[in-house]
Amino acid sequence: MDRYCVFGNPIAHSKSPEIHAAYAAQTGQALTYERRLAPVDGFADAVRGFIAEGGKGANVTVPFKLEAVKVAQALTIRARAAGAVNTLVFSEDGIIGDNTDGAGLVADIVNNAGVAIAGKRVLLLGAGGAVRGVVLPILEHRPARLVIANRTVSKAEELVAQFSALGGEGVVSACGFGDIEGEYDIVINGTAASLNAELPPIAPTVFAPGALALDMMYGPSPTVFLQFAGQHGARLRDGLGMLVEQAAEAFKLWRGVQPATAEVLQSLRAKL
């Protein structure tokens, strides 16, 4: 039976084994998927050890997504653009690093929320690793504009410079939180503010009528950002759909089969 895992530290909270077990049952794939706690200073050895045990692939979560870039012997375009790897494929050609986070976010917006990105005004809050991974997949859906707002403007400007060369010229721009102009159809919180129950310092005017507000974090109740967005008329989505969809993308990479996500998402939501 083929073996897969997710590496992280901490890792006990990961819902990935439950998600992949559901996908395997649904698609008739014979595989096992486990959590693996890797030492903070021993990620590469942990990966090599898993390959030696017959592992076929792995997901990578905090704090190893940057280190996984170095472990990979080849990177996909989206992993290179993200500068981070969350999925490893162990092939005859070596270790291939991919990033399915952005594809997961886009699938959740377009398929699950039923909101097209094409022609829309999109606001991304934050400029860290979480945001970096979603810029290219969003651009591939041809938004009218994509604004990256961040506390440190220079970090957002670095992303704009990078992604202008990848089809974002004239579409992507950067600003500080206090300098956001106009209103947006899709507002995505990729900052860590929700971890501390804080709100990114944005004005309520950023939400266009009927806007979709999405927080990459999730929990049993809406984050402070989603509560704020809801008070100003936005439709709300948390990051659980993104989690389920990025896992489906990884599953497809490993097994060549696209699993259905709706029931898995519904089941996880009921357990929050």
Distances (CA, A) of 104 to 108, 154, 196, 201, 247: 6, 27, 24, 26, 8
Tell me if 153 is assigned to a ligand binding site: yes
Tell me if 61 is assigned to a ligand binding site: yes
Tell me if 196 is assigned to a ligand binding site: no
Tell me if 239 is assigned to a ligand binding site: yes
Q: Provide CATH code, domain 102-238.
A: 3.40.50.720
Which phi and psi (to 5°) does residue 173 adopt? -140, 165
Q: What is the pLDDT of residues 100-109, one digit of tens each?
A: 999 999 999 9
What's the token pair of residue 199?
A: 């709100």
**Catalytic: 65?**
yes
Whether a cis peptide bond, with omega within 30° of 0, leads into 10 is yes
The catalytic residue among 56, 65, 70, 252 is 65
Confidence bin at 169 (pLDDT 50/70/90): confident
Q: Enumerate the domain spans of the chain.
A: 2-99+242-271, 102-238
Distances (CA, A) of 47 to 3, 7, 56, 209, 254: 13, 8, 11, 47, 16
pLDDT confidence of residue 171: 94
pLDDT confidence of residue 195: 84
Confidence bin at 90 (pLDDT 50/70/90): very high
Architecture of the domain defined by 2-99+242-271:
3-Layer(aba) Sandwich (3.40)
Confidence bin at 35 (pLDDT 50/70/90): very high
Confidence bin at 82 (pLDDT 50/70/90): very high
Q: What is the pLDDT of residues 179-202, one digit of tens each?
A: 999 999 999 999 988 888 899 999
